Amino acid sequence: MPHLTTPAIICAVRHHGEHGAVVRAMTPQHGLVSGYVRGGRSRQVRPVLQPGNIVQAEYRARTPDQLASLTVEMIHSRAPLIGEPLPAAAIDWTCALTAAALPEENAYPALHQALDGVLTAIEAAPAARGWAVALVRYELLLLTELGFGLDLDQCTVTGARGDLTYVSPKSAAAVSTAAATGYEARLLSLPPFLTAGGQAEWPDILNGLVLTGHFLERSILTDRRRDVLAARERLVERLKRAVA
């Protein structure tokens, strides 16, 4: 990709050298793309390179194998949310997950749209319940896009398509209430909003986070990627305290 100009969502920033930064940003048509920002640690550029911000990104590289140089211009800043613990933690986790999970330069237009939707909801909603459902759905979509989707269409035991209330932690398939009898403690709760749509109350939202968290940790956030789980743990703990 010798030259690319595109809107992008800043997902991760890593210091490089004394003054620069390597930035990973989510683009609509090229997926996650990395670039080196000269002066990325400067007072002028640091506020632009905040996870969650939307920028106009220009990548230039001499060869396809070279890390591109990157220049950015602010399109939309979410910096005002940095001082709000819950929204800040949600942005931090959602962007960190995206940067850690996705391979470089693979197009995921549905994920880009969903990521933008989650961040917009975090910014606009007056309370966390307004965006927490979108966050769980984003995690579920990411699992699906990476080939680890959950089978929530029918009961894996009986084939029934109704009354699906659990998920097998091993097969990632739905289980009906009848088939789960006696095995409830071994299964993960399946909140109705993940199959029927709509909004949800906090018990179902927290169950949704437990569900997606199990499969993210098992299938995607392994080995060196496990470090980002700390951001998720901080978010979940803050949500639990907020609704206690």
- SS3 string of the chain? CCEEEEEEEEEEEEEECCCEEEEEEEECCCEEEEEEECCCCCCCCCCCCCCCCEEEEEEECCCCCCCEEEEEEEEECCHHHCCCHHHHHHHHHHHHHHHHHCCECCCCHHHHHHHHHHHHHHHHCCCCHHHHHHHHHHHHHHHHHCCCCCECCCCCCCCCCCCEEEECCCCCEEEEHHHHCCCHHHCEECCCHHHHCCCCCHHHHHHHHHHHHHHHHHHCCCHHHHHHHHHHHHHHHHHHHHHC
pLDDT in tens, 116-156: 999 999 999 888 998 999 999 999 999 999 999 999 999 99
Q: Provide mean pLDDT across the span 180-207.
A: 95
Residue keyed to tokens 């996705």? 102
pLDDT in tens, 64-123: 778 999 999 999 999 999 889 999 999 999 999 999 999 999 999 999 999 999 999 999
Q: Reply yes or no on whether the pLDDT at 229 is more than 90.
A: yes
Q: Reply yes or no on whether the pLDDT at 2 is more than 90.
A: no
Q: Kindly state the percentage of the chain with pLDDT values over 70.
A: 100
Question: Among 212, 241, 215, 217, which residue's Cα sits nearest to residue 228?
Answer: 217
Question: Among 55, 59, 57, 36, which residue's Cα sits nearest to residue 47?
Answer: 55
Looking at residue 64, its pLDDT comes to 77
Determine how β-strand 68-76 pairs with β-strand 188-189. Answer: unpaired
Q: Reply yes or no on whether the pLDDT at 1 is more than 70.
A: no
Residue keyed to tokens 């640690």? 41
Q: Reply yes or no on whether the pLDDT at 36 is more than 90.
A: yes
Using pLDDT thresholds of 50, 70 and 90, give the confidence band for residue 63.
confident
Looking at residue 225, its pLDDT comes to 84
Q: Kindly state the percentage of the chain with pLDDT values over 90.
A: 84
Hey, what domains does the chain have and what are their CATH numbers? 1-77 (2.40.50.140), 81-152+190-244 (1.20.1440)
| Mean pLDDT of all residues belonging to the chain | 94
Question: Could you give the CA distance from residue 9 to residue 130 in angstroms, rounded to a whole number?
Answer: 21
**Structure-block tokens of residue 83:** 């001082």
Using pLDDT thresholds of 50, 70 and 90, give the confidence band for residue 244.
confident
Looking at residue 208, its pLDDT comes to 97
Question: Could you give the CA distance from residue 44 to residue 115 in angstroms, rounded to a whole number?
Answer: 26
